């Protein structure tokens, strides 16, 4: 049981490092170094990496070891297109079932970041906003009654986190999330769909313009 908990913790740590692009795309993951870094054996590291393979964030290349996934600009753009289709498709059902108290709490969290001058976000703020972004969009999907769509969306969530970070014009995204939440609270499906579609397309456009500069290099 203790070993399982350690593996879970390592899974979360590596997952967040990949989503936050602290590893570069295609980087070989040094299992021994991670074990030494966390003062544990290699077994929980390997267990965590195998789970990350199942999530699509890591690939195993035979005896060569584990590598961070590789995404090019077109693949990240494809993730944005898929998000748009799934989120807009489930919107009517989500608006009918969504918890307004949870939405208001999310709006309050987004509003806190509006007061940061000139978009000077510290690293921990970027991490917090990324998690909040993922939570919001997952909450939107999970509030719908579309079971198969939820399963499909869950399968791309982690990779979606990378696409959000790469497409992260945060000053714009903060206001967009607040506007989307307000439209949902008004139960205005047409307005919400328009805002949501614009929000996702803005992220895709940002990726197109800035992909080369945004991706960490070896």
Q: In b/e form, how buried is each residue of 95-105, taking b as 16+ CB within 10 angstroms?
A: beebeeeebee
How many other β-carbons are positioned within 10 Å of the β-carbon of residue 160?
A: 21
Please name which of 9, 167, 15 lies closest in space to residue 81, comparing C-alpha atoms: 167
Same domain assignment for residues 90 and 129? yes
Q: In b/e form, how buried is each residue of 117-150, taking b as 16+ CB within 10 angstroms?
A: eeeebeeeeeeebbebbbebbeebbbbbebeebb
Same domain assignment for residues 37 and 104? no
Same domain assignment for residues 86 and 55? no
Q: What is the pLDDT of residue 189?
A: 96
Choose the final residue of a domain: 68, 89, 124.
68
Q: What is the pLDDT of residue 1?
A: 38
User: Mean pLDDT, the chain, as a whole number?
Assistant: 88
Choose the final residue of a domain: 68, 92, 118.
68
Choose the final residue of a domain: 34, 52, 68.
68
- DSSP summary character for residue 168: -
Q: How many domains does the chain have?
A: 2
CATH number of the domain encompassing residue 184: 1.20.120.530
- Give the domain extent around 141: 73-214
Task: Kindly state the average pLDDT of the residues 178-203.
Answer: 96
Same domain assignment for residues 81 and 49? no
Same domain assignment for residues 123 and 165? yes
Task: Kindly state the average pLDDT of the residues 65-92.
Answer: 90
Same domain assignment for residues 202 and 95? yes
Taking the model in full, what pTM does it have? 0.80
Q: What is the pLDDT of residue 167?
A: 53
Same domain assignment for residues 176 and 106? yes
């Amino acid at each position: 049981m203790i070993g399982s908990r350690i593996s879970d913790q390592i899974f979360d740590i590596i997952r967040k490092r990949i989503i936050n692009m602290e590893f570069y795309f295609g980087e070989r993951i040094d299992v021994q170094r991670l074990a030494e870094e966390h003062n544990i054996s290699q077994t929980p590291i390997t267990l965590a990496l195998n789970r990350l393979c199942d999530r699509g964030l890591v690939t195993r290349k035979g005896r060569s070891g584990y590598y961070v996934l590789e995404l090019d600009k077109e693949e990240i753009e494809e993730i944005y297109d898929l998000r748009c289709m799934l989120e807009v498709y489930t919107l009517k059902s989500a608006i009918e079932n969504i918890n307004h108290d949870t939405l208001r709490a999310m709006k309050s969290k987004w509003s806190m970041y509006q007061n940061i001058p000139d978009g000077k976000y510290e690293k921990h703020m970027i991490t917090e906003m990324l998690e909040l972004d993922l939570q919001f969009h997952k909450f939107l999907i999970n509030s719908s009654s579309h079971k198969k769509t939820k399963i499909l969306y869950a399968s791309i969530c982690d990779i979606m986190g990378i696409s959000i970070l790469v497409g992260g014009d945060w000053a714009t995204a903060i206001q967009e999330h607040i506007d989307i939440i307000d439209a949902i609270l008004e139960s205005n499906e047409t307005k919400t769909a328009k805002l949501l579609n614009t929000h996702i397309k803005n992220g895709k456009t940002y990726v197109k313009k800035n992909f080369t500069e945004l991706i960490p290099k070896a």
